Each structure stands twice: as structure tokens, then as C-alpha cells.
């Protein structure tokens, strides 16, 4: 059975200021998602599931349905604020999505096979998809998951702070801990984590970092459902709280519910966090095309 690619594209892109999920960055209007799906197809994925808001479903279908027809199976799943377990109701004033863990959870009715869940606006590189596909096909343990790791220094923006999950691994390269580091900035040749109290912690840049490229089995869905109910019991009144998948993964590891293999893909990562990042991304893709890694017209 071929694995599925689950693309998390329901976020609002507040720092970017628009629908960055379909922002053109390729020479013929391709978005980063186009390159993600292209890489996934040649790495051996058999289906792509888009997690989106219903309000921009038409924009997504117009952009992807025709070009992907006959190349890969496509499904759309909506992540809406009122998609809550029985016994919970949407609090007045809530505008933010419930987070990446909730986004994965809403796909539980359309995924019955191992799957890779990742961000819509991040470029992960072909080797990352190949490493993930190979893992998902070969791993027989239903509680063994995976994550593609990147070095922190390769994941920063020149135009503002970023939030990253910094990882500790054991000698067998299984994940032991994720530290959600909310405000990381480049300052000259230094990389600094700015804590909530304003204090600063220097980082080397060689820390292994989660860029939300996860490999899961269907066994994760009941775990996510249980965790989401617990999250709502504590946080539903906090209008800006979100349930992030790295925190849930660490909780699963801590409770011996899962183990997570950290995969080394040796792939380039880049993304569009801020509008100012876009020219850099366009130039990076142009360079990859010139190297022959991608055709100039991706879908022809």
C-alpha cells in the first residue's frame, strides 16, 4: 500500500498577510505545494489529502484538480473551528485554528494507511520525501512513527523571528525530547533564542530541528482524539491556544505510546514565513531548476 501525503494548509498566514499556501514561486505560477506533490509522487506516495478551510476550497480545487488528475489521488478535508468533540462548543471570539494536531485529527476518516503530515508552505526537498516514503513502507510496527530533521541554521529567516521545535535524540536516532522554542532570531553571525521574560539563550545552529515533516500510522488518530479532548478541557477558554503536533508527539513518547525515528534526508529546506522571504524562495527554486532537479514546467 502506498503512503499518503497529508498537507496542512488551513492556517491563516498572519505573519505573511495572505493565502501563502498558493502563493506563486515557480516560473509558471507554481506554489511550494506543487513541488511538494511532485516530489511525493516520484518518491512513491499514492494519495494527497489537503487540510484546508472551506472558505478557500474553490481556490485550491481550481489550482490543483486539473493538473493532478491522473497523477495522484486527491482528497480535500476541511478544518473548521466548530469541529469539536461531543460535549464541547466553540467559544465566542475564537478565530485561530486549533493547531496542527487538530488538523491531522480531522483527516482520520479519509486516511487508512501510513502517511506523512507536513506544512503547505515549506519546501522540504525530494530526498526528504524519499526517506519518509521508504520508512512508511518498511516500518511494520504500528506505533513506530518518524520525523525528518533539519539543522536549525538552515531553517531561519532573515526577516524576523521563527518558532522551531529543537530535538534531542538517543544513539539509535530515536526522538527523546522536543523543546518548542518560540522566538529564534539571527543577529549577525549569532543565533539567539529570546525567552518570554526577555532573556536570551545562544544557539549553535547545529541543533536538529523539527520542521513539521512527520510520518504516522493510523494508530495515531485515537491518541490525537484523546489528547485533543484533554487540551480542550484545559485550554478552550484561551482564544489563542493551539495544540501543536510536536507537543503531542513528545507526550506520546513520554507515555510510551510511540517511538519516533529521526530521518536524515540531506535535503534543502526553505519556506515563506514573511512576504520578504518570497524573492529568496523564487531564486532557490530557479537554481534547482537550472541544476536539473525540476523541470521548468512542472506539470507538463
Question: What backbone phi and psi angles, to 5 degrees, belong to 221?
Answer: -65, -50
Q: Decide if pLDDT at 162 tops 50.
A: yes
Domain ranges of the chain: 4-291
Given this model, what pLDDT does residue 19 score? 59
The position carrying cell 516520484 is 42
Distance of alpha carbon 139 from alpha carbon 152, whole angstroms = 27
Given this model, what pLDDT does residue 20 score? 60
Given this model, what pLDDT does residue 147 score? 97
Given this model, what pLDDT does residue 21 score? 67
**pTM, two decimal places:** 0.90
Per DSSP, the three-state class of 11 is coil
Q: Report the range out of 36-50, 241-255, 269-283 with the highest average pLDDT.
A: 36-50
Q: Read off the C-alpha cell for 58.
A: 474553490
Residues 6 or more apart whose Cβ sits within 8 Å of residue 41: 71, 72
Strand partners, 88: none
Given this model, what pLDDT does residue 14 score? 38
Given this model, what pLDDT does residue 13 score? 46
Mean pLDDT check: name the lowest of 23-32, 39-48, 263-272. 263-272
Given this model, what pLDDT does residue 156 score? 86
Question: Model confidence at 55, in pLDDT bands (50, 70, 90)?
Answer: confident
Q: If one looks up domain 4-291 in CATH, what number appears?
A: 3.90.550.10
Question: Model confidence at 16, in pLDDT bands (50, 70, 90)?
Answer: very low
Distance of alpha carbon 178 from alpha carbon 167, whole angstroms = 5
pLDDT in tens, 86-108: 999 999 999 888 999 999 999 99
How does DSSP classify residue 205? S
Given this model, what pLDDT does residue 238 score? 94
pLDDT in tens, 256-276: 999 999 998 788 888 877 778
Question: Model confidence at 72, in pLDDT bands (50, 70, 90)?
Answer: very high
Amino acid at each position: 500500500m502506498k503512503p499518503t501525503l497529508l498537507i496542512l494548509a488551513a492556517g491563516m498566514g498572519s505573519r505573511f498577510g495572505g493565502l501563502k499556501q498558493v502563493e506563486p514561486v515557480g516560473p509558471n505560477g507554481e506554489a511550494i505545494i506543487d513541488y511538494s506533490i511532485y516530489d511525493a509522487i516520484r518518491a512513491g506516495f499514492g494519495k494527497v489529502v489537503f487540510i484546508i478551510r472551506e472558505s478557500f476550497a474553490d481556490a485550491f480545487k481550481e489550482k490543483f484538480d486539473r493538473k493532478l488528475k491522473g497523477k495522484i489521488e486527491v482528497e480535500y478535508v476541511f478544518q473548521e473551528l466548530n469541529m469539536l468533540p461531543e460535549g464541547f462548543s466553540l467559544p465566542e471570539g475564537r478565530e485561530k485554528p486549533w493547531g496542527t494536531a487538530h488538523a491531522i485529527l480531522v483527516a482520520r476518516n479519509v486516511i487508512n494507511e501510513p502517511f506523512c503530515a507536513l506544512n503547505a508552505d515549506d519546501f522540504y526537498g525530494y530526498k526528504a520525501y524519499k526517506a519518509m516514503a521508504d520508512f512508511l513502507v518498511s516500518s511494520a510496527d504500528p506505533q513506530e512513527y518518524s520525523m525528518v530533521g533539519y539543522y536549525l541554521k538552515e531553517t531561519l529567516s532573515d526577516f524576523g523571528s521563527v518558532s522551531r521545535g529543537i530535538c534531542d535524540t538517543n544513539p539509535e536516532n530515536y526522538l527523546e525530547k522536543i523543546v518548542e522554542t518560540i522566538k529564534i532570531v539571527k543577529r549577525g553571525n549569532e543565533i539567539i533564542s529570546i525567552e518570554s521574560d526577555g532573556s536570551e539563550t545562544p544557539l549553535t545552529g547545529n541543533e536538529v530541528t523539527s520542521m513539521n515533516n512527520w510520518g504516522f500510522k493510523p494508530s495515531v488518530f485515537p491518541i490525537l482524539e484523546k489528547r485533543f479532548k484533554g487540551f480542550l478541557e484545559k485550554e478552550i477558554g484561551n482564544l489563542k491556544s493551539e495544540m501543536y503536533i510536536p507537543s503531542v508527539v513528545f507526550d506520546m513518547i513520554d507515555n510510551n505510546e510511540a517511538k519516533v525515528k529521526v530521518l536524515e534526508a540531506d535535503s534543502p529546506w526553505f519556506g515563506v514565513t514573511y512576504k520578504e522571504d518570497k524573492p529568496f524562495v523564487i531564486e532557490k527554486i530557479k537554481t534547482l531548476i537550472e541544476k536539473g532537479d525540476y523541470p521548468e514546467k512542472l506539470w507538463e
